[in-house]
Structure 1
Amino acid sequence: MNIDFGLDATFSWYVVLLMISGVAMVVIALVKGGEQSDGARILSGVVGAAFLGYGVFLGFISEGDSYWMFFQAFFLPALLVVNFVRGLLARRSENSQQQ
């Protein structure tokens, strides 16, 4: 296992955040709430699975000394979560106005 906060906290946090982002994106893709199109759900699921897979690879499989760190990769999950929550809130307000 390569996750060791005492040895390299930056790498360890990067791996943990990759896996959390990946799981969040896959969950968003699986939930049929909000205003997501099918294409957006598929994209979210594929990118989320890639994040999760890369995090697992770095944290548990890789024995190399180098890795690619993409901090920009955390903008997409944040935007998807915000869009998902906004869609849920919009749907909830529409339902309350109809009743």
Structure 2
Amino acid sequence: MNLDFSAEPLFSWYVLLLLVSGILMVAIGAVNFGGLSGGWRAFNVIAGLAFVGYGIYLGFIFEGGSYLILFKAFILPVAMIFNFVRSLVGRSRTQPAQAPAQQNQVG
């Protein structure tokens, strides 16, 4: 395992953030909590798997040398979570308006 917070804190935190953000993105895409479209859900899963894969590579397989710090690894999860929350809020606003219309049709 390549994680050593005392010797290489930046590298270790980067690997940890890659793994956490990747897992969150996969969870958001895999479970249909909100009103995300199929394309956004697929993008979340694919990007999340890429982050987790790179995190696993750096944390367990990487043997030293140079590595690439992707600043998108910090920005993209925030954007995906923002989009997810926005879709949840939009969905909660439309549901109460639809509920009375359905009740009138039944009776």
The TM-score normalised by the length of structure 1 is 0.90
> For residues 17 and 30 of structure 2, what CA distance do their matches in structure 1 show?
20
> For residues 5 and 25 of structure 2, what CA distance do their matches in structure 1 show?
25
Residue-pair matches, total: 99
Task: Please provide the CA RMSD for this pair.
Answer: 1.4
Aligned AA for 2:19? M
Which consecutive aligned stretches of 4+ in structure 1 deviate over 3 angstroms post-superposition? 96-99
Larger radius of gyration: 2
Other structure's SS at 1:85 match: helix
> For residues 73 and 86 of structure 2, what CA distance do their matches in structure 1 show?
21
Greater RCO (CA < 8 Å, at least 6 residues apart): 1
> Contact 2:21–2:73 (CA<8 Å) still a contact in 1?
no
**Residue 27 of structure 2 corresponds to which residue in structure 1?**
27
Percent same amino acid at aligned positions? 46
Gaps of 5+ in 2: 101-107
> Contact 1:33–1:87 (CA<8 Å) still a contact in 2?
no
Gaps of 5+ in 1: none
> Contact 2:33–2:88 (CA<8 Å) still a contact in 1?
yes
> For residues 94 and 44 of structure 1, what CA distance do their matches in structure 2 show?
24
**Residue 4 of structure 1 corresponds to which residue in structure 2?**
4
